[in-house]
Structures are given as C-alpha cells and as structure tokens.
Amino acid sequence: MKTIVINALSALQGGGQTYLINLLSNFTEYKDTRVVVIAPKKYEYLFNNYKNSAIEILAPEFPSKSIFHRFLWEKFRLPNLLRELDASVLYCPGGIVLVKNLSKCKIAVAFRNMLPFATNEIKRYPSGYMRFRLWLLRFFLARSFKKANLVIFISNYAKGIIDKFVPLRRGKSVVIPHGIGKQFLKNENRRSSPLPYGYVLYVSYMDVYKNQLEVIEAWKYLKEMRSTYEKLVLIGPASMRYLHKIMKRIEDYGLKDDIICLGNVKYDDLPAYYQFAKINIFASTCENCPNILLEAMASGRPLFCSNHMPMPEFASDAAIYFDPYNPRELADLLVRYIDNSEFLDKLGERAYEHSLGFNARISAQKTWNALLELIN
C-alpha cells in the first residue's frame, strides 16, 4: 500500500483551501494507494466532504491551537505519525517541512506564497512583526526547498525566482499551474446579478501588495473625468490595519456612496459577482499563480490587470494591463473603454476562451502523478 500524507495544517484561508479541495475532489483512485490529509481542526468539516475509501482525514487538536503548537507538533509528533502510517510521500502544499531523517518517506513541497521572496513588497510593511514574519518564512521555505525530493511550482515566474534564491536543490522541480473549477465558467443560465446596480469589481485579499488604495484613487480620478453611475465593489477578507486605511481613504475622497466594501463573500457566490461585473480588476503586484485572475477570466467579462509578473504569464493577450502604482493610468483606461460595450464584450470573450486552458481536473491529475512518480 502506497500512502501519500498531505500536511494541510497551514490551509487556514481561501487560497490554500481551494487548492486542496481541487486536489481532493479530482483524486483518481490508484491501485494500492491511499491519501491521508492532516487538516486544521477548525476546518475538519470542510475536508470531510472528500473522505472516502481512499482518502482519510485526520484533524488533531494540539497543532490547531496556535502556530507555536503547530511548530511543536510538526517537529516532534509528525515524524512518528509518518512512521505509523508507513508514509511513502509527505506533501506540504504550504511549502514548509520541519521533519527530517525520514529514510523511507519522500518529501514534496509546493511553492505558493511569493510574498516572502518579494523584497520590495516586504519593505511596504512597517518595521515590526510582519516584516520579521516574512523574513522568517523565507528562511524556512528556502531550507525546505533545498531538502525536498520534489518542489511543485505553480508558475514559470515563481520557479525563476526560486532558481535565483535557492539554486542548489537536491530534488526535481515541476511547474503545474492552478486550474479553474467548472463552477467559475461563464454560465448563460446565470441570469440575475447579485447586486442591484452596475459595478466594476475587484476581488482579492485586502493588503498593501493588492493595491486597493491605488484602485480607490483611480476611481476618484475617474469620477472627476466622467459622470460615473457604476460603483466600485471590493470583495475579500482584509488585513485590519489595511482595511482601516481603505475606509479612511474612501471617506476622505467622499466616495462612501460610490465604493462598496462587501468583505468576505461565500466562495460559491463569487462566480455570479464576476459574471455580472462590467469590468473585473486585478491590481496585485505580488503573486504566484493567482486563482482570482483565472476565475475572473473564466467569467467572460473583461479583465483590467496588473502588468507585474506573473500576471501576463497567465492572462497573455486576454487582458488590458496597467501599472498598479499609477492610479491615473488605470483611470485613463477606464475612461477610454468603460462605455465601449463592443470592445469590452470582445475582450471578455477572449478572456473566457483563454481561461479554458487552465483546467482544475488536469492540474490535480498532474499533481497526483508527480507525487506518485516519487514512489515509483
């Protein structure tokens, strides 16, 4: 019996959970192969939906108490658990592996968090906890990449970054981009908008490198240049420090009736928000393989996108690009195109066609095959 153990204890937010859900929901049962997922206790219910004869879910209490408890558990308890399970592969999608001296068990990691290696973005945070945390993450990620038997990258851009930071890695590397779940594809039967007004949409976690403040400033310029009936809608969880800045900026600009912060929206509700947006915006300057960008393209609506890599790697010629650090550039593009329905519809159709190249099922199968190749 081959046993793949997935350490999912770091999957505490949407992106990490979405990645694992796509992986588990597209698991093709292989002969004499089982999967054991170690999940956060708080989200055990989420992963239990995928439990079957080949997939087992474990949700220990101790490592779910805090990051310190998780560190101790992964360092001292996990190695024994791997021996008890007779694990063939330990896969850490969060990128960090603390166990060592596993003679029979191969180690695979994924690189999904670009921020610890984005020096310029780290400098945008004030000195203190966040900067220290990101530098610490860089140290542990780099050490894990060095000793892993397999590193799964989700963009060619990301692999190039780690090739520079961690050139000496003992294992092999493979690039497997994320795929799009079929629920995000444009659906003609989806007839009613989730909002009673026209809107331009930006879905993302709210933090400095996502540049919501710059998008808000661009909206202020747009209002100065055009009589704008559409609203700017921001969706996503937030860093509280940054959310406070967002709300203050909206108030200072007198845009409380023009910019709507909806906060976190149920994942299953997002496709409708994308599909009925006049324009989808993605203004991040630090990404690896952005799910949101792929999902927005799949909606069939036009995408105005950050020109920072790796966004062009994924959107290619199916988006309008702008510099997120230059709000006037985004405002000028909105003024130029927002009333050109024919152009926007053609751009949206091009985005939809391009998105079909990113399939969640194929991405998951490539990942399972890469993990099983370590055993074989």
- Over its C-alpha atoms, the chain yields an Rg (Å, rounded) of 21
**Local structure of 227: helix, strand or coil:** coil
**pLDDT computed for residue 28 by the predictor:** 80
Could you please state the CATH topology (level 3) that the domain comprising 2-179+360-373 is classified under. Rossmann fold (3.40.50)
**pLDDT computed for residue 17 by the predictor:** 87
**pLDDT computed for residue 31 by the predictor:** 81
Alpha helices in 96-155 (DSSP H): 119-122, 129-147
Residues in the chain with pLDDT values less than 50: none
Q: Which CATH class is domain 182-357?
A: alpha beta
Please state, in angstroms and as integers, the Cα–Cα distance from residue 158 to each residue in 108, 117, 289, 356, following that order.
16, 10, 8, 22
**Local structure of 310: helix, strand or coil:** coil
**pLDDT computed for residue 227 by the predictor:** 94
Closest CA to 109 of 143, 151, 137, 75: 151
**pLDDT computed for residue 250 by the predictor:** 98
For the full predicted model, state whether its pTM sits above 0.75.
yes
Here the tokens at position 343 are: 């152009």
Same fold, 2-179+360-373 and 182-357: yes
Q: CA 245: distance to chain centroid?
A: 23
Here the tokens at position 83 are: 């021996």
Listed by start position, the domains of the chain span 2-179+360-373, 182-357
Find out whether 43 and 12 touch, Cβ atoms under 8 Å: yes
d(CA 291, CA 142): 24
Q: Tokens 């996108």 map to which residue?
A: 305
d(CA 365, CA 362): 5
**Local structure of 282: helix, strand or coil:** strand
Here the tokens at position 183 are: 């629920």
In DSSP notation, 12-76 reads: -SHHHHHHHHHHHHTPPPPTTEEEEEE--GGGHHHHHTT--SSEEEE--SGGGS-HHHHHHIIII
**Local structure of 201: helix, strand or coil:** strand
Find out whether 13 and 236 touch, Cβ atoms under 8 Å: no
**pLDDT computed for residue 289 by the predictor:** 94
